[in-house]
Structures are given as structure tokens and as C-alpha cells.
Amino acid sequence: MALLLSARQLITPLQTIDDGAILIEDGTITAVGRRAELTIPGSTRVFNFGDAILAPGLIDIHIHGGAGHDVMEGSDESLAAVERLMTRHGVTSYCPTTVTAPLDATLRSLDALGKAVASADKRDGTRARPLGIHFEGPFLSHAKRGVHPPALLEKGSLELFDRMWQAADGRVSVLTIAPEIEGALDLIAEAARRGVCVSLGHSDAELPAAQAGILAGARHATHTFNAMRALDHRDPGVLGAILTSSEVTADIIVDGIHVNPVIVDLFVKAKGLDRAVLITDAMSATGMPDGTYLLGGFEVQVKNGRCESGGRLAGSVLTLDRAVRNTAEFAKISVRHAIRLATLNPARVLGIEKRKGTLSVGADADVVVFTPTGEVVRTIVGGIVN
């Protein structure tokens, strides 16, 4: 049966349509436009959301967990808890993100996560769907490792990457790597050849090393400003390369803790509305009370929204709808533009913009219903209205 969703405003997100509507059949969008202009089959179920906003489902390409669970647990029970929390906050698709851990544990997690990605379309409408795995570690800089265990960090090893790739059955979307570590450039080139989005992160690289990483195939940046060599007017480093390269997209954690609101404004101005991406870097404590939680295999203390391990920031309890609202406020942009940073832009990073991150004919029917101020009213995954 066809579905029609309508609201006062529809954000595609490249344009805004007043009194907009979308027609959905078999989980796919078949028509988009002003409701008065659409031809609606007689048997169509109609959902009118009144004064609300229809927008594409949000996409989080960097998330470790939530609802008391870490994605590296890998079980369907743990992933279901995380995915249901995400849909309550408008996320319909995501990249489960690993942290540096012992190899055996990592390979077990990757096997489970690869299977989860393979069966993503079998989920019901209450659960966000995994798109592909994000490897955050172990190919990181010791100097900018954050809370990643130093004894488990590795040089850029093609052999190790391939073992991880095989464990995940090739269902890998993003690789975060420091371009200055030994073997990094060869690994960047090989990962890019396999269709992985290679992202510069956890890096103490000077400008030439960062530029070499981009030349080798890196085209994104992980939680920009955090776990990176600081920007200096005589030593621009990796941030200088990221902020000025038109070939590089970049993501940022907009929780008001990881970066100052002024820096969010600077970031959006530098990367523009087409290259800036919002992430959460959320951990198992998201949606939970203050306390001690696990991130991968180590403990993190959470208090008043701040996550720390050994005195260092360790992930966040941010939700992506909150990141959208914060970005609109901090960068002084419209909610529509902020929504783009969490929908179309991450979809483009992953190369799936024709089916995700957009309300357009032929795209998957992943839809969020927002209030005019950006609060989530309902999330629809794969055209399933619960």
C-alpha cells in the first residue's frame, strides 16, 4: 500500500517546499512536491503532520554506542538497543564505529558487525540501519591517540588492514588514519582503491604529511580539531590542510564541549555547507544517567554530559538531532542548512547520496518529522510507519 506523508514544510535538503508531501511505495520515494500537485492513488494511507517539517533521515557516520551498549559487543540485542535510541533522535542510518582493542576482540566484533550490515534491510522500522563499519584505530598517532590504548596502536599495515577487512566481509565504509605514521600512505591508497572513505584523524601531522595523505587518497577528516595537532599561523599542520582543501570533507562534534561554539562557526565557514558533516562520536552512556560506562574495552566516567577516561575526553553523549540544533545556533545558519550537514553531506561522504540523505524520487523512504525548532516528532525507516 502506498503512503503519503505531508507537512507544512518539506526539506529535501537542497530546497524547501511549502505544503510539501512525499509518496512512498515499497520503501522507496516515488513522488515529491507540493501536496496539491501530487497524484495520490485511492488506496493510499495518508499521514498529515500539520505544522511540522519533513526531512531526510539523519546519518551518523561515527558512533560507538548508546543505551548502555557498545557496538563492539556485536550482538543483535546490543545493536537493537543502540539503533532504537538513534531512531528516537532522528537517525535512520549509521556507521558502527570501532575503537582500538586487542586484535582477537576486534576481529570478533568486525565479524558480527559485518553480518549486521549484511542484514540491515531486515530490521523493523524502530531500528536505524547500519551502512558499513568505521574503523577508528588502530592506525593512529601516539601523540594524538586520545584514549586509544597506546600499546595497541599499529603502523599502517596492509596485512592487518586486510585481516580486518576480511573479518568484516568487506563491509567497511570509513577508515580513520594518521597520515604521518609509518606505512600510512600505502594503506590510504589501498583502502581508497577498495572504495573506503579514508579520513584523516588522531593525527599530529605537519602540513606536508597531511597533504601527502590527501594526495594518496584521503578525502575526509575525523572529529576535526579533536585529537589533532593544533592550528598555528606558522605551523598549520593537519588542520591547515583540512580546512583549506576543497577535496576534503570534514566532520565535527557539536556538543558545546568538544569545540567552542565560535570554532563551530569558523568550521562551517571554512568548509561550507557542502563539505561540513555532523557526527556524535556517541558512546554507550548516551541516553543513560551519569556514571561509569565502557567504550570498547576501557572505562569512561560520564558527568554532566562530559565523558572522560584518565582525564581525557572519550566520546560523547551527544545525539544527532541535538547536534543539528546546536549547529544552527552556533554557526548562525538555518535549521534547513544544519539538517543538510547531517543528511546529504554524510551520504555524499559515503557515496550513497542517490538513495540516502535526500527526499527525492528513487531514494529510500527514510524520513524524520521535526517540529519547526528541530525537535524530533517521528522517525520513519524504510517507509515503515509505526
Residue with cell 520515494: 29
Amino acid occupying residue 203: S
CB 38 within 8 A of CB 44: no
> DSSP secondary-structure letter at 225?
T
* Burial of residue 31, with CB atoms counted within 10 A of its CB: 0-12 exposed, 13-18 middle, 19 or more buried: middle
Say if CB 253 and CB 316 are below 8 A apart: yes
**Phi, psi values for residue 21, rounded to 5°:** -155, 155
Task: Assess contact for 21 and 33: CB atoms under 8 A.
Answer: yes
Residue 96's nearest CA partner among 118, 113, 77 is: 113
Could you count the other beta carbons within 10 Å of the beta carbon of residue 357? 31
Q: Hey, what's the cell of 176?
A: 580513520
> How remote is the C-alpha of 317 from its chain's centroid?
14
Cell of 331: 554557526
Angle made by CA atoms 33, 38, 41, in degrees to the nearest 5? 140
**Which residues are CB-contacts of 161 (< 8 A; sequence separation ≥ 6)?**
139, 175, 187, 190, 191
Catalytic residue among 204, 281, 364, 366: 281
* Residues in Cβ contact with 91 at an 8 Å cutoff, skipping those fewer than 6 apart: 57, 58, 59, 60, 128, 319, 320, 321, 379
Verify whether residue 281 is a known catalytic residue. yes
Crossing angle of the two packed helices 261-271 and 237-244, in degrees rounded to 10: 50
Bridge partners (DSSP) of residue 369 are 54, 378
Residue written as grid cell 495518508: 46
Round to whole Å and give the CA distance between 313 and 24.
42
Residue from 62, 93, 58, 65 nearest 251 by CA: 62
Residues assigned a catalytic role: 281
